């Protein structure tokens, strides 16, 4: 991200030019008009701002004046600094009256911690450049909140904290607009934030990592983001609706999430279309802000159970099948995990049970969701036993082994005079194939009927 700043002689104005590598608001070579709630904004590559010193804003706050810094340049604004200067206790709220920062340019970050916004607030088309941005413990009023087209930089280098934080922010009961934001290489935290029953819009936004851990969702959320590495709703309660349709994200985390509402999402957004056998089952490690969080098979199992139930409630049965496969995939691997005090016998037992489930449930029929896979397995078994019967054939030129394999698998039992029935091993193999036939035909019937009834 880059902006060139040129102050005039008296440093009353600054002209800011967006460089070619910037993703900020003024990157377009051509001027375009954008209508945000019937207000007109121009997309330009260069813009001149009036400079407002932070000390002047601090004086407005102290005097209880209306704060209108639309299209202004502000450097190093911090309510924590204001509170320290006024010798306020840490955590004391600071009232910002009729605050409007539409189209403003905050240089060296901005700190609105413990702010109280009394009416409708707009940070639309605002740029936060070169520094951390904090709205931690801020309180918004009951009116709508606008952050449309705002741009956030990557923050301070090597900082252990998320450079953009709305942690514990109270967004009130109005609608919240975060449409077409750019968090340029910046991790953003909404952890423990409070959202009311108003709708929340993140459509078209670009994230790196976004954490919505431990929040409660009551309204309708538009999460059709343009790009995101990780979106995390772990430990949250989703009572309303979240629409991910068309969202471009690499990972969605729902660890210990409670869902009483609805998630509109498809298997394409969740990357569930890959075959289980082609997946690397190594447990992922994701670096979330300042700590490493390992995702275990148990946590993945619980996430896919939630998605499976959500798809079932929405009637997305194909997506439900895909989520169910992943649920079972991680379930049997979670059951296999050894504990330190497990004896050798317990470890052998767990490994044996896992391998049997892996073969019969996963490989043969994709946990009962693929009749085609079961049917293919049936033909493979018939062919395999036909090869095993070859040594017992009285005439190698006849198709007797294959014929005997078919009638034994299907438990028809016609018999044939071309096979050596007196052999113990021949009888043993026939019995095993008969059992395999009963098992696979039952497996096929269940999976096929399940598809038909859907």
pLDDT at 389: 82
According to DSSP, the β-strands at 46-51 and 13-18 are antiparallel
Read off the pLDDT of residues 99-111 as tens digits, 9 standing for 90 and up: 999 989 998 889 9
Distances (CA, A) of 55 to 6, 15, 49, 50, 79: 21, 21, 17, 15, 11
What is the overall mean pLDDT for the chain? 81
The closest of 306, 201, 222 to 259, measured between CA atoms, is 306
Q: Domain residue spans in the chain?
A: 3-292, 312-363, 371-453
pLDDT at 280: 39
pLDDT at 38: 42
pLDDT at 136: 95
Contacts of 259 (CB under 8 A, 6+ apart): 238, 306, 309, 310
- Using H for helix, E for strand and C for coil, what is the string for 310-348? HHHHHCCHHHHHHHHHHHHHHHHHHHHCCCCCCCHHHHH
Which pair of tokens denotes residue 314? 């929405």
Distance CA 246, CA 225 (A): 8
Distance CA 128, CA 437 (A): 67
Contacts of 28 (CB under 8 A, 6+ apart): 43, 44, 45
Could you tell me how many helices (H) and strands (E) the chain has, helices first?
A: 9, 31
Which segments of 114-217 are extended strands (E)?
A: 115-117, 121-122, 127-129, 133-134, 145-146, 151-152, 164-165, 176-177, 182-183, 188-189, 200-201, 209-211, 216-217
Residues composing the chain: 454
Backbone angles phi, psi at 388, to 5 degrees: -70, -25
The closest of 396, 382, 400 to 436, measured between CA atoms, is 382
Distance CA 383, CA 402 (A): 7
Read off the pLDDT of residues 253-285 as tens digits, 9 standing for 90 and up: 888 899 999 999 877 766 655 444 333 333 343
Distance CA 248, CA 103 (A): 27
Q: Which fold has domain 371-453?
A: Helix Hairpins (1.10.287)
Helix/strand/coil percentages in the chain, nearest 5: 30, 25, 40
> Which three-class secondary structure state does DSSP give residue 269?
helix
Distance CA 186, CA 181 (A): 12
The closest of 377, 285, 361 to 325, measured between CA atoms, is 361
Contacts of 244 (CB under 8 A, 6+ apart): 223, 224, 252, 263, 264, 265, 269
Q: Model-level pTM? A: 0.74
Which pair of tokens denotes residue 390? 């070859």
Q: Which residues pair with 116 in a beta bridge?
A: 95, 139
CB environment 265-293: b (16+ within 10 A), e (fewer)? bbbebbebeeeeeeeeeeeeeeebbeeee
pLDDT at 279: 38
Contacts of 278 (CB under 8 A, 6+ apart): none
Q: Are 396 and 424 in contact (CB under 8 A)?
A: no
> Which three-class secondary structure state does DSSP give residue 196?
coil
| Ordered per-residue pLDDT tens for the chain, 454 residues | 466 666 665 566 677 665 554 444 443 334 444 444 444 445 556 778 889 999 999 999 999 999 999 989 999 999 999 999 999 889 999 999 999 999 899 988 899 999 999 888 999 989 888 788 999 999 998 889 999 988 887 656 555 567 899 999 999 999 999 998 888 667 899 999 999 999 999 999 988 889 999 999 999 999 999 888 889 999 999 999 999 988 888 888 888 899 999 999 877 766 655 444 333 333 343 333 333 346 788 888 888 889 889 988 888 888 888 888 889 999 988 888 777 677 888 888 888 988 888 888 888 888 888 889 999 999 999 889 888 888 777 665 667 778 888 888 887 766 555 555 667 887 888 888 888 889 999 989 988 888 887 6
Backbone Cα Rg of the chain = 31
Residue 82 CA, chain-centre distance (Å), reads 37
What would the DSSP string read from start to end of 281-306? -PPPEEEETTEEEE--HHHHHHHHHH
Q: Which residues pair with 263 in a beta bridge?
A: 242
């Amino acid at each position: 991200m880059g902006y060139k700043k040129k102050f005039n002689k008296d440093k009353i104005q600054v002209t800011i030019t967006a460089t070619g590598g910037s993703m900020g608001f003024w990157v377009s070579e051509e001027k375009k008009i954008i209508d945000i709630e019937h207000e007109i904004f121009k997309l330009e590559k260069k813009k001149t701002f009036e400079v407002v010193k932070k000390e002047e804003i601090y004086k407005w706050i102290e005097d209880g004046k209306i704060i209108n810094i639309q299209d202004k340049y502000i450097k190093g604004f911090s309510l924590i600094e204001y509170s320290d200067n006024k010798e306020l206790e840490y955590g004391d709220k600071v009232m910002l009256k009729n605050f409007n920062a539409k189209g403003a340019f905050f240089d060296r970050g901005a700190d609105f911690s413990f702010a109280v916004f009394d009416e409708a607030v707009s940070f639309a088309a605002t740029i936060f450049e070169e520094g951390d941005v904090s709205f931690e413990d801020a309180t918004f009023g009951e009116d709508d909140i606008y952050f449309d087209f705002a741009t956030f930089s990557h923050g301070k280098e090597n900082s252990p904290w998320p450079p953009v934080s709305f942690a514990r922010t109270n967004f009130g009961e109005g609608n919240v607009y975060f449409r077409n934001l750019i968090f340029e290489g910046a991790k953003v935290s909404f952890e423990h934030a409070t959202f009311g029953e108003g709708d929340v819009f993140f459509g078209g936004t670009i994230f790196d990592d976004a954490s919505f851990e431990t929040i409660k969702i009551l309204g309708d959320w538009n999460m059709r983001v343009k790009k995101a590495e990780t979106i995390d709703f772990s430990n949250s309660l989703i009572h309303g609706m979240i629409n991910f349709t068309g969202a471009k994200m690499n990972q969605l985390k729902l660890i210990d999430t409670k869902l009483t509402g609805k998630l509109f999402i498809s298997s394409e957004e969740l990357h569930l279309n890959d075959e289980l056998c082609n997946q690397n089952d190594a447990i992922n490690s994701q670096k979330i802000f300042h700590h490493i969080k390992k995702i275990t098979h148990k946590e993945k199992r619980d996430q896919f159970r939630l998605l499976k139930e959500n798809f079932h409630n929405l009637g997305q049965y194909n997506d439900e099948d895909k989520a169910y496969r992943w649920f079972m995939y991680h379930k049997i691997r979670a059951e296999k995990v050894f504990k330190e005090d497990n004896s050798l016998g317990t470890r052998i037992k767990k490994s044996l049970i896992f391998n049997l489930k892996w073969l019969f449930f996963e490989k043969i029929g994709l946990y009962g969701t693929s009749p085609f896979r079961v049917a293919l397995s049936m033909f493979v078994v018939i062919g395999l036993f036909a090869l095993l019967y070859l040594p017992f054939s009285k005439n190698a030129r006849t198709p007797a082994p294959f014929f005997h394999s078919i009638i034994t698998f299907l438990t028809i039992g016609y018999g044939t005079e071309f096979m050596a029935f007196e052999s113990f091993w021949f009888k043993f193999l026939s019995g095993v194939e008969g059992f395999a036939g009963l098992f696979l035909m039952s497996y096929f019937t269940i999976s096929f009927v399940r598809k038909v009834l859907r």
